[in-house]
Amino acid sequence: MANDPDTGRDGVDEVVADVTVAAPVEEIDEEDVLVEEGEIAGDYLEQLLDVLDFDGDIDLDVEGDRAVVSIDGGDDLSKLVGRKGEVLDALQELTRLAVQQATGERSRLMLDIAGWRAGRRADLTEIGLAAAKRVLASGEPESLSPMTPFERKIVHDAIAGVDGVTSESEGAEPSRRVVVLKG
């Protein structure tokens, strides 16, 4: 066959296939993702503590389906908790945003400072159990004080462990509350 003067080819049509070979998909380990979230959050909080001139030890953990970051051991960490945990909630949201900026994914991490959330969890569990006992004894529904979604979940979980009572939430934020019912 003669060469084509324009291309220098010998007249044979070339077929070039664009083949993409997929690399094996690595299984994403959810715990590794949560550990990474915790590390990003820990770095962010360490810088924040330095700027604010607070001392504290940062502990990273994974509990269930979320990263948990705790700050303990420093003087005056109660200022970072605030009244009813308001400052803590704001710091948690800022930390979640820092993680989201780094990863591109929304984070559900939990921040605890000076054991405040752990103590609050214990208090709310007791509130739920005490209300359940009163409802069992009286048979009358009982409405608890307004709570945040986090607080209501803890109370619902505590009540769910008591036979003979149920719970539901009613009302609109910020006045949404748990109601304990016989049943």
Q: Is 100 in the same domain as 124?
A: no
Q: Is 54 in the same domain as 41?
A: yes
Does some domain include residue 5? no
- The domain containing residue 99 runs over which residues? 30-114
Residue type present at position 100: Q
Q: Is 106 in the same domain as 49?
A: yes
Does some domain include residue 150? yes
Q: What is the pLDDT along the chain (183 residues), one digit of tens a residue?
A: 455 555 555 554 444 445 444 444 445 688 889 999 999 999 999 999 999 989 899 999 999 889 999 999 866 899 999 998 999 999 999 999 999 999 999 999 999 999 999 999 999 999 999 999 999 999 999 999 999 888 999 999 999 999 999 999 999 998 999 999 998
Does some domain include residue 23? no
Q: How many domains does the chain have?
A: 2
